[in-house]
Amino acid sequence: MSFESHFPIWSQLQLHQQRLLLDSLTFQIVKRGTVLRGGSSDCAGLVLIRSGQLRALFYSEEGREITIYRLFDGDLCLFCAPCVIRSIQFGVTILAEKDTEFWRIPSGVYQGLMAQSAVVANYTNELMASRFNEVMSRMEQFMWRSMDKRVAAFLLQEASIEGTCELRITHEAIANHLGSHREVITRTLRDFQDAGMVKLSRGMVTILDQENLESLSIGRVIQRRKKGDPE
């Protein structure tokens, strides 16, 4: 798959704009765990993911962290290059959650395109709005939803991303995604286990009852099923 087929507005660019982009691109492969953007001042360029997974998070002053969104194949990481939009002042850390292959568009080149092309500027607008949706939805969850609902939703999302109910993830990692503490997550997961919804083992959470987890995540009352209860 080529850059041209991944970049959504490719066909709406003029020939010289297409050439400029292709000439300035770099293709990179990074290992899982690589920090693509660390502090608020980093601005190496926009990242278009060919394959892999990125995670945008932020840290509290005390070092707690929370995932604010994730990016997948074909997504463009606008906040990898916050300097392309002057008014962006918040700091987000972006790191590779999986080995990731991507094209990097230098910030200056992209800024030049935005300044001359309403198509590129409006595309950027839509990109930012998409991230805005995710942040607002995360904020909503954080503010109004109890931790058990959020953990349930997170497990289901992980299962959907990984395509399996056997999730290799630590309680610590779940806490870091949700801006919580390991102890809180462990307590919640044990409650889920008691209710027959998951099975816990070392470094692993296995979803046993997707339906009840779903009900819980959207706030319905759960039918508790304990060991020994009739099915």
Binding-site ranges for its own copies (CB under 8 A): 58, 60-62, 64, 66, 68, 85-90, 92, 114-118, 120-122, 124-133, 135-140, 142-144, 179, 219
Nearest approach, Cβ of residue 91 and its own copies (Å): 9
Shorter beta-carbon distance to its own copies: residue 98 or 145: 145
Cα separation, 223 vs 221, in Å, equals 7
Structure-token pair, residue 91: 């700091």
Shorter beta-carbon distance to its own copies: residue 103 or 123: 123
Among 85, 122, 109, smallest CA distance to 3 is for 109
SS3 86: coil
Shorter beta-carbon distance to its own copies: residue 27 or 132: 132
Q: CB-side exposure of 166: number of CA atoms within 13 Å?
A: 2
Shorter beta-carbon distance to its own copies: residue 26 or 146: 146
Cβ neighbours, 10 Å, residue 137: 12
Nearest approach, Cβ of residue 114 and its own copies (Å): 6
Nearest approach, Cβ of residue 117 and its own copies (Å): 6
Beta strands in 112-219 (DSSP E): 166-167, 198-201, 204-207
From residue 117, give the alpha-carbon distance in Å to each of 34, 79, 122, 206.
Answer: 33, 20, 9, 49
Shorter beta-carbon distance to its own copies: residue 167 or 178: 178
